[in-house]
Chains A and B, each alone.
Chain A
Amino acid sequence: MDYINRGNRSTKDGFGIGLLKLGEKHKNLIALGADITASVVVNYFAEKFPKRFFSFGIAEQNCIGVAAGLALSGKIPVFSTYGVFAALRTTDQIRISLCYNNVHAIIGGAHAGISVGPDGATHQALEDIAIMRVLPYMTVLSPCDATQTEQAIIAAVEQINGPVYLRFGRAPVPDFIDPEIEYIPGKAQTLKEGNDITLIATGHMVWEALQSSKILEEKGISARVINIHTIKPIDKDIIIKAAKETKAIVTLEEHQVQGGFGSAVAEVIVENYPVPLKMIGMHDRFGESGQPEELMMKYGLKAELFTKDILHFINLTSVRS
């Protein structure tokens, strides 16, 4: 089937709208702000529910501990800031105060990937998946568009019990997921069937994977496309099935490939059903300033660029029957 872009939207917008909707229903939902409230779209919630929004200033480490204390008191805290701060500045607080205590607290990791754009390397989260997915009890969500990000924050509050890291971006990107399709944490989605290879993508790269599959189709290659919106716990079954039914796997992420999403998929493949695997993403380097589209082009994260790499990979591995 073909996926239609209903219009570009920022995934952070889906987060903000989801949070606002949750506020009506869940009176114990508390949002914490670290100065960039509007930028991470917690302002909708804060304006509607001022008594359940608390400003904690530019002090992310404290916010994580406060979230743990709130959660231990029966509240559902949501703390959102840029992923670089949310996941990396606070890693020890997340490890001990949140994860070791196994509390239901939600961290929103905004500004994921190089598509953050002009702010440059300091503000482009490219290591957060790797750090968050290694922590015991942590669930890592990485939805692919604004519609799915709204579903993801709702699922994080209503369907998950422990700590959750929810990753989303800044740049407007195609909004294409059918809102009628249920979002089940831990259950990946096959967006397109295919027999030759499988493109397994997360976040913004899911749309690019769909575009790539069209180019491959023109070259006579049937590519399956899987959207992994839950990086931890990862849907092993869908990955193993793809490894068995197609001849090679390509992973796509807007993140460092080392330790990140590609590594998470590789762990499943290597242990269960080894097939050739190629990882597309950032390769051990920082991003830089530029417009989102320019950066995605420069770093080879647009379909028209990485599809060439995929074709080269296909020739190397004799996938074509």
Chain B
Amino acid sequence: MTFQKHQSIAKLEKFAYSIRKNILRSLTEAGSGHTGGSLGLTDIFTVLYFNIMNHDPENSKWEDRDRLILSIGHVTPVHYATLAEAGYFPVEELMTLRKLGTRLQGHPGREHGLPGLELSAGSLGQGLSVAVGMALADKIDKKERTTFCICGDGELQEGSIWEAAMSASHHKLNKLITIVDRNRVQIDGKTEDVMQIEPLADKWKAFGWKVLTCNGNNIQELISTLNEAKQASDKPIVVIANTIMGKGVKSIEDDYRWHGKVPTKTELELFLKELY
């Protein structure tokens, strides 16, 4: 049985608000981690887990569940906070992030036993290949479920991503949806300065994918785009989701310095007041 799908935008925004609050709190408590990307992806995770995906927090191994592969393991705080919000484990456990003995590793590690994680990941450029393998297995088994894969935009500089992209269209994996977190920044600065990835939509099209674009921080738009992505297609689908790193805390939005930085306790208080 699948988890309830929420249609109310106001309700989904409340989930997103709560997830952002928990991202900030857990990262401050951890003392290290990746704040900007986690906040930027919050709306996408909210829509996936509370509206789009078929999944069951009571039965994380449900065999017909949609699967989400987070290729960019460093933004796992948003995944953890979303899983906790959906009821996979207690919200208080978020405060163990990155601490010795935790199930919430700095980058996701399945062997530590946290329910809801499909893949241990953290080395960039690998998740899409795994998602291809999963989608291929479903195709062999004639399963109708969807495999989602979230990639970073900077991550697309890894050559292996394009090996995976080529193979997904070659094998017509039409139940594979890749979401590119297009926040335009990476650790060293703007993606287009560090290593140009544009024209991005053209690249995916050339690799045989159906390309959709949306505002990755607009819940309404995400719902309609992801529903469109789930429509019958003979190709794998990529959603280029334009996001803002640090979204939700005005004072750090779009500031690449917040890629791998966490708030101090004082900043946390200010950010929680700022949070919208």
Q: Give the complex CA separation of A57 and B118 in angstroms.
A: 26
Q: Across the interface, do A30 and B163 meet the contact criterion of CB distance under 8 Å?
A: no
Q: Across the interface, do B111 and A66 meet the contact criterion of CB distance under 8 Å?
A: no
Q: Across the interface, do B129 and A54 meet the contact criterion of CB distance under 8 Å?
A: no
Binding site for B on A (CB under 8 A): 30, 51-52, 54, 56-57, 59, 61-75, 77, 92-93, 95-97, 100-102
User: Which residues of the partner chain A approach B119 to less than 8 Å between Cβ atoms?
Assistant: 68, 72, 97, 101
Interface residues of B in 154-185 (CB under 8 A from A): 159-160, 163-164, 166-167, 170-171
Q: Is the interface of B mostly helix, strand, loop or mixed?
A: helix
Q: Across the interface, do B171 and A54 meet the contact criterion of CB distance under 8 Å?
A: yes
Q: Give the complex CA separation of A64 and B128 in angstroms.
A: 11
Q: Across the interface, do B136 and A101 meet the contact criterion of CB distance under 8 Å?
A: no
Binding site for A on B (CB under 8 A): 109-111, 118-123, 125-138, 140-141, 159-160, 163-164, 166-167, 170-171
Q: Which B residue's beta carbon lies closest to that of A69?
A: B133
Q: Name B163's contact: one of A62, A70, A75 (CB within 8 Å).
A: A62
Q: Across the interface, do A65 and B164 meet the contact criterion of CB distance under 8 Å?
A: yes
Q: Name B133's contact: one of A51, A65, A100, A102 (CB within 8 Å).
A: A65
Q: Across the interface, do B109 and A68 meet the contact criterion of CB distance under 8 Å?
A: no
Q: Give the complex CA separation of A61 and B126 in angstroms.
A: 8
Q: Across the interface, do B126 and A93 meet the contact criterion of CB distance under 8 Å?
A: yes
User: Which residues of the partner chain A approach B164 to less than 8 Å between Cβ atoms?
Assistant: 62, 65-66
Q: Give the complex CA separation of A51 and B136 in angstroms.
A: 12
What are 21 of the A-B contact pairs (CB < 8 Å)? A30-B140, A51-B140, A61-B125, A61-B129, A61-B160, A62-B160, A62-B163, A62-B164, A63-B129, A68-B133, A69-B129, A69-B130, A69-B133, A70-B137, A72-B134, A73-B138, A93-B126, A93-B160, A97-B121, A101-B119, A102-B111
User: Which residues of the partner chain B approach A95 to less than 8 Å between Cβ atoms?
Assistant: 123
User: Which residues of the partner chain B approach A67 to less than 8 Å between Cβ atoms?
Assistant: 133
Q: Across the interface, do A66 and B118 meet the contact criterion of CB distance under 8 Å?
A: no
CB distance from B50 to the nearest CB of A (A): 24
